[in-house]
Amino acid sequence: APVFCEPFRQWVLEDNFTNGRPPLEKVGVEFVADVAPYELMKLRILNGGHAAIAYPAALLGIELVHEVMATPLISKYLQKLVLEEIIPTLAPVPGVDFQEYFSLIETRFSNPEVRDTVPRLCQDASNRLPKFILPIIAANLEMQQDCKGLALVVALWCRLCAAAAEPKSEIALDDQQAARLIKQALLAKHDANAFLQMHDIFGTLCDNKIFAKHFGTWLTMLWTQGTAKTITQYMD
């Protein structure tokens, strides 16, 4: 039977071989002198993008990623976040237009045949965020740039952790640190700093006043006004 798959593919290899190499460029492989900039681009735009849409989608009860992208509130949030707070932290990559790359990622996320799920994107967040989101926040702060939207990603995650403990909640927190995350997220309802003081997750960001202020503002709004209104506020 025919099997649907996504048209997206990206294969970048460092052109450093000891005794020649196969002509893989004929089948779409891109040989480069240094893969690190390409990897960082992928981690921040693709993986960071996944995190950005996962937590609001879960809070809004959306199950599939292509349905998330069909929700203007979240897709517009992702666009603003990537263009204003993620791409500016990337050094130029030879032959790559970041906005074109992001458009390709949007198309990938929007493909209904992939049927990627929001619960999968939410898995293991205590391990994923320190790789995909927190370094971008740190980079913005180091460059003295805004990190409001990225702080909102973290606040959405915190609110999701707390939501998993609510009566009759359909949210299941799939994380090795689930019990701890829920405990700290519930404490953060009245003291936002309680969530940020998990030093093994947040590192030096624990004590950054700018990030903490944005996080606290968004978290309070999420508790009092809900997910949709909070994201709308960021968009305004």
Per-residue pLDDT tens digits for 77-90? 999 999 999 999 99
Paired tokens of 46: 């693709």
Identify the band that residue 7 occupies on the pLDDT scale cut at 50, 70 and 90: low
DSSP 91: P
Are residues 147 and 210 in contact, defined by beta-carbon separation less than 8 angstroms?
yes
Q: Specify the amino acid at residue 166.
A: E
44/93 Cα distance (integer angstroms): 13
Of the candidates 215, 228, 199, the residue with the CA atom closest to the CA atom of residue 154: 215
- Ramachandran assignment for 28, one of left (phi > 0), alpha (psi -120 to 50 degrees), beta (any other): left
Instruction: Give the mean pLDDT of 145-162.
Output: 97
200/229 Cα distance (integer angstroms): 31
* 173-183 pLDDT, tens digit each: 999 999 999 99
- Better-predicted residue by pLDDT, 23 or 124: 124
Q: Specify the amino acid at residue 117.
A: T
Alpha helices, H only, the chain: 36-41, 48-59, 65-69, 72-81, 98-109, 118-122, 125-132, 134-142, 148-163, 178-187, 193-196, 199-202, 209-225, 227-235
User: Average pLDDT over the chain, rounded to whole?
Assistant: 93
Which pLDDT score, from 0 to 100, does residue 8 have?
61
Q: What domains are defined for the chain?
A: 34-235 (1.10.1040.10)
* Alpha-carbon dihedral sign for residues 194, 199, 200, 205: positive
Which pLDDT score, from 0 to 100, does residue 6 have?
62
Identify the band that residue 5 occupies on the pLDDT scale cut at 50, 70 and 90: low
Cα distances (angstroms) measured from residue 47 to each of 40, 50, 130, 131, 151: 10, 5, 12, 9, 16
178/161 Cα distance (integer angstroms): 8
pTM: 0.90
18/21 Cα distance (integer angstroms): 8
186/158 Cα distance (integer angstroms): 9
Which helix (H) or strand (E) segment holds residue 14: the answer is strand 12-14
Which pLDDT score, from 0 to 100, does residue 51 have?
96
Q: Exposed, middle or buried, 88 (CB in 10 Å: 0-12/13-18/19+)? A: middle
